[in-house]
Amino acid sequence: MHKRVIGAMAISGVAALALSACGGSSTPSTPGTAAPAANDTSTSAAAPKPSSTTDAPVRDANVDLVIWTDADRAPTVKKIADAFGQEQGITTSVQIAVNTRQQFKDATKVGKGPDIVVGAHDWLGELVQENTVAPIQLSADTASQFSRQSINAAKFNGQNYGVPYAVENIALMRNTALAPDAPKTMDELVASGKAIKAKNPKVTNVLLQQVGKVGNAYYTYPYMSAFGGGIFGASADGGFDPKKVIVDSKGSVQGAEVLAKLGKEGVLSTNVGDDNAEGLFDAGKAPYFFTGPWATTNAKKANIKYAISDLPTLDGGGQMQPFLGVQLFYVSAKAKNAAIAQEFVTNYLTKKDVQLELFKALGRPPALTAAYDEVAASNPDVKAFFEAGKDSKPMPNIPAMNSVWGPLGQASADVIAGKAGAQARFASAQKEIVANINKG
């Protein structure tokens, strides 16, 4: 890394802006935590012509609508925006951003941002905190056509700020060549996994779940939710209350105890993380994998026969409920073309055909119920993922969540590694989270 001593040492030490964005949830200690919501998969090679990338850099004064999105969605969003533009007699431009979340905040603050940005719902609190998004007044009638959770996810302090188009969550993925039947409970899963491992020397892991040395709260939450635990209690307006942290509640700790047990049995390990979990599954080294739709692309490439089912139930508790991530279109608070942007999100994106088109780009269950129903009828993966998350809650979208990823992730890693007891460790995580929130 010495190259910059000479090269551009003074100017290239480190990028606060760039890196704070890369964790997805701006938590450097938990890379990839919110990533499931922040990125997407399914189509990569077969994308159409690069029309969207030929537009002018930054924003062009002659364009009537500027949309920022990431590389995978851009071609589809471009198609939709073009159709909308034709309908309205205007020109549109779709630009690809890499660290969309951070770049949107930075650029908007200096007046160089887009009119619309596509992103995950858990950015919302932060975007409101920084005055970068505008409310979207969806009519009650339109809102009722979306899944209830996806509309809730777009709200902050009771106000709506986004139009949802897809939901995503983790589920149980299994290698059907190794495990033909889906286990209903965690005990079943562990028992059958161990049996598979015993008779198949190639299998090294019973269950793959991203943990890593700093832990991953996104995957810890389902254990807590199975016992009625969680991260935040509900606020008066139905959102999340940053003053009610329930990481040390009875339900949460019961979930942590399951983590401890699985860690002790060697089912979960801090040596499995975001860098190798997928690779191990795709090499056929484990029958079970807790993961989201983003993992299906590589599994198909590696010719793994897989099936998706609900997360198992935990002994003494209920079913593990994953965090729900919702993909939204936001309108910038400093949009230069606010009227057109509002028109696009409220009256165009809410159409079934448009939502179906967006589905093609992502392969995630559409948020619009009518569109979902049509997709689910023909796509078992989508249906299975949706079913696994149909009763779950959206990931908290309040800024206080940024204080949770680090401490809770590390607490779960420590519990899995057997470094600390579940009860005590989650209590200290609670203390740290509360202290961090109060600091802000």
- Contact positions with another protein (CB under 8 A) in 239-268: 241-243
Instruction: Write the DSSP assignment of 328-388 as a string of letters.
Output: EEEEETT-TTHHHHHHIIIIITTSHHHHHHHHHHH-SPBSBHHHHHHHHHH-HHHHHHHHH
Closer residue to another protein in complex, CB, 352/431: 431
CA of 242: how far to CAs of 373, 401, 404, 432, in Å? Answer: 35, 8, 10, 13
Q: Identify whether the C-beta of residue 124 lies closer than 8 Å to the C-beta of residue 146.
A: no
Identify the residue among 153, 259, 400, 422 touching another protein (CB under 8 A): 400
CA torsion through residues 300, 302, 303, 304, sign: negative
Minimum distance of another protein from residue 316's CB (angstroms): 26
Give the H or E element holding residue 241.
Answer: strand 240-245
Minimum distance of another protein from residue 70's CB (angstroms): 8
Q: Which of residues 34-63 bind another protein (CB under 8 A)?
A: 35-36, 38-39, 41, 44-45, 47-50, 52-55, 57-58
CA of 157: how far to CAs of 26, 161, 437, 439, in Å? Answer: 21, 10, 17, 21
Minimum distance of another protein from residue 412's CB (angstroms): 11
Q: Which of residues 73-102 bind another protein (CB under 8 A)?
A: 74-75, 88-90, 95-99
**Separation of first and last alpha carbons in the chain:** 34
Identify the residue among 82, 106, 188, 387 touching another protein (CB under 8 A): 106
CA of 380: how far to CAs of 168, 309, 385, in Å? Answer: 15, 10, 9
Number of chain residues interacting with another protein (CB under 8 A): 143
Q: How many Å apart are CA 388 and CA 312, to the nearest integer?
A: 10
Q: Which of residues 317-346 bind another protein (CB under 8 A)?
A: 333, 337-346
Closer residue to another protein in complex, CB, 88/369: 88
Minimum distance of another protein from residue 326's CB (angstroms): 17
Q: Is 201 in the site for another protein (CB under 8 A)?
A: no
CA torsion through residues 250, 252, 258, 263, sign: negative
Q: Is 198 in the site for another protein (CB under 8 A)?
A: no
Q: Which of residues 354-393 bind another protein (CB under 8 A)?
A: none
CA of 72: how far to CAs of 50, 51, 359, in Å? Answer: 12, 14, 12
CA of 312: how far to CAs of 185, 245, 315, in Å? Answer: 5, 25, 10
Q: Is 236 in the site for another protein (CB under 8 A)?
A: yes
Residue span binding another protein (CB under 8 A) among the ranges 146-154, 173-181, 389-397, 409-417: 409-417
User: Which token pair is 226?
Assistant: 């199975």
Minimum distance of another protein from residue 176's CB (angstroms): 18
Closer residue to another protein in complex, CB, 245/314: 245
Minimum distance of another protein from residue 386's CB (angstroms): 19
Helix intervals (H) in 89-185 = 100-109, 124-129, 140-143, 148-153
Q: Which of residues 143-162 bind another protein (CB under 8 A)?
A: 157-159
Closer residue to another protein in complex, CB, 266/380: 266
User: Which token pair is 311?
Assistant: 């997360």
Q: Is 200 in the site for another protein (CB under 8 A)?
A: no
Q: Is 232 in the site for another protein (CB under 8 A)?
A: no
Q: Which of residues 126-145 bind another protein (CB under 8 A)?
A: 128-131, 134-137, 139-141
Q: Is 418 in the site for another protein (CB under 8 A)?
A: no
Identify the residue among 92, 216, 270, 355 touching another protein (CB under 8 A): 270
Q: Is 234 in the site for another protein (CB under 8 A)?
A: no
Q: Which of residues 177-196 bind another protein (CB under 8 A)?
A: none
Q: Which of residues 273-312 bind another protein (CB under 8 A)?
A: 273-280, 282-283, 292, 294-295, 297-298, 301-302
